[in-house]
Amino acid sequence: MNRVLPYPVLSVALAATWLLLNAPPTPGHVLLALAVGLAVPHAMRPLSPRAVRVRAPFALARLTVIVLVDMVRSNLDVARIILGLRRGERRTGFVTIPLDLREPFGLTVLAIILTATPGTLWVQYDSDTGHLLLHVLDYTDGDEWVRRVKDRYERPLMEIFA
**Residue 70: inside a domain:** yes
The reply to whether 64 and 84 lie within a common domain is: yes
In a domain, 1, yes or no: no
The model's confidence at residue 129, banded by pLDDT at 50, 70 and 90, is very high
Considering the domain architecture, whether residues 42 and 62 belong to the same structural domain is answered as no
Does residue 5 have a pLDDT over 90?
A: no
96 and 74 inside one domain: yes
- Check whether residue 61 and residue 16 sit in a common domain: no
pLDDT: which is higher, 58 or 1: 58
Considering the domain architecture, whether residues 105 and 129 belong to the same structural domain is answered as: yes
At 142 the pLDDT is: 74
Looking at the structure, do residues 78 and 28 belong to the same domain, yes or no?
Answer: no
| 14 and 87 within one domain | no
Provide the pLDDT for residue 36.
93
Please check whether residue 88 lies inside any domain of the structure: yes
**Average pLDDT, stretch 76-88?**
82
One domain for residues 39 and 62 = no
Same domain for 86 and 139? yes
> Using H for helix, E for strand and C for coil, what is the string for 2-14?
CCCCCCHHHHHHH
Give percent of the chain above pLDDT 70: 98
Please give the radius of gyration of the chain, using alpha carbons only, rounded to the nearest integer: 21
Please indicate, yes or no, if residue 2 is contained in any of the structural domains: no
- Pair (73, 41) in one structural domain: no
Specify the pLDDT at position 1. 53
The pLDDT value recorded for residue 20 is 93
Q: Which of 22-36, 48-62, 92-106 has the lowest mean pLDDT?
A: 48-62
Do 32 and 88 belong to one domain?
no
Number of domains in the chain: 2
Choice between 36 and 50, residue whose per-residue pLDDT is larger: 36
CB atoms within 10 A of CB 109: 21
User: Does 89 lie in the same domain as 22?
Assistant: no
pLDDT in tens, 90-124: 788 999 999 999 999 899 999 999 999 998 999 99
| Domain range enclosing 37 | 8-47
